[in-house]
Amino acid sequence: MPYDTLVIATGARHAYFGHDEWEPFAPGLKTLEDATAIRRRILLAFERAEREPDAAERAALMTLAIIGGGPTGVELAGTIAELAHDTLRGEFRNIDTREAKVVLVESGDRILGSFKPELSAYAKRALEKLGVTIALGHPVTECSADGIVFGGTLLPARTIIWAAGVAASPAAQWLGVEADRAGRAKVAPDLTVPAQPDVFIIGDAANLPWTDGRIVPGIAPAAKQQGRHVAKTIRARLAREIAPRPFVYKHDGDLATIGKRAAAIDFGWIRMTGWPAWWLWGLAHIYYLIGLRYRLAVMLSWLWIYATGQRSARLITQGETPKRP
């Protein structure tokens, strides 16, 4: 298919640091399908624990491990803890979901490593208040149907979620251009491929220097800014403005939610925690939704969850779950 301009925005995939065999046991969260699959695994674990006569196996079924203490891992840990300790409480006859153990494993010395230390400390306290066990300084060395191994110890867990890292789609390989360790293609300041001015790479697939030796982060606001920049560049070319237009990234801040009434926000000029940060986090996400109808629907859904503590989390959809050997 011939083209005048090609824009590659093929995103990222989960990265298991050379252990792709872990993926069946520790799915990641990148798509809506991933989210429903994770929800299915969690709910089925409780259903199986309800019928399990062996105490050790029942404990393993009620242990949920999240690998990676970035924003995704922190948000997952808080949500799952609230699901087990609040939403599903009293809905089983033989088990008490409040006894479920949620473990967040991070290889670094603190969670939310990209945030300021005081915000990381707040997030740790907030998660522990929700009943989450946090293990720092221990990379996972093994992941299987039996659980995970970190710090030389096996944690029996039948539900494992991967939030430790991503790798770019193989766009750099497709084009035969230089890439970084995560597979991101190294692009020119105007987001074009070197020596291929009619090809742009944006979003998670692109490596573009930013500040302090860092690159433009692989987050939605950055990708949206790059998309607008490419659109303006194409319009300028159609208007015969040939000079390259370098991309300038504006960082709006870092946000992470920790459960239903807590969040950490760093806008640079102001930092917030607690329920005010949670509300601001929610408003920011609602603002970027497309269409008034969806904004209202999400806002009403979140208000209901906030007021009642009830989530629509009981739907078990079809799908395969890895069987234990």
Cα distance between residue 324 and residue 48, in whole Å: 13
Judge contact between 262 and 126, C-beta under 8 A: yes
Interacting residues of 104 by C-beta distance below 8 A, sequence separation 6+ = 65, 66, 69, 73, 74, 77, 111, 127, 132, 133, 134, 135
Helix (H, G, I), strand (E, B) or coil at 243: coil
Helix (H, G, I), strand (E, B) or coil at 101: strand
Residue 271, strand partner residues = 266
- Spacing of C-alpha 233 from chain mean position: 31
101-106 vs 192-193, strand pairing mode: unpaired
Name the one residue in this structure whose structure tokens are 């009434």.
Answer: 261
Q: 21, 23, 33, 75: which one is catalytic? A: 75
Residue 104, strand partner residues = 66, 134
- Spacing of C-alpha 271 from chain mean position: 21
320 catalytically annotated: no
Q: Mind telling me the catalytic residues?
A: 75
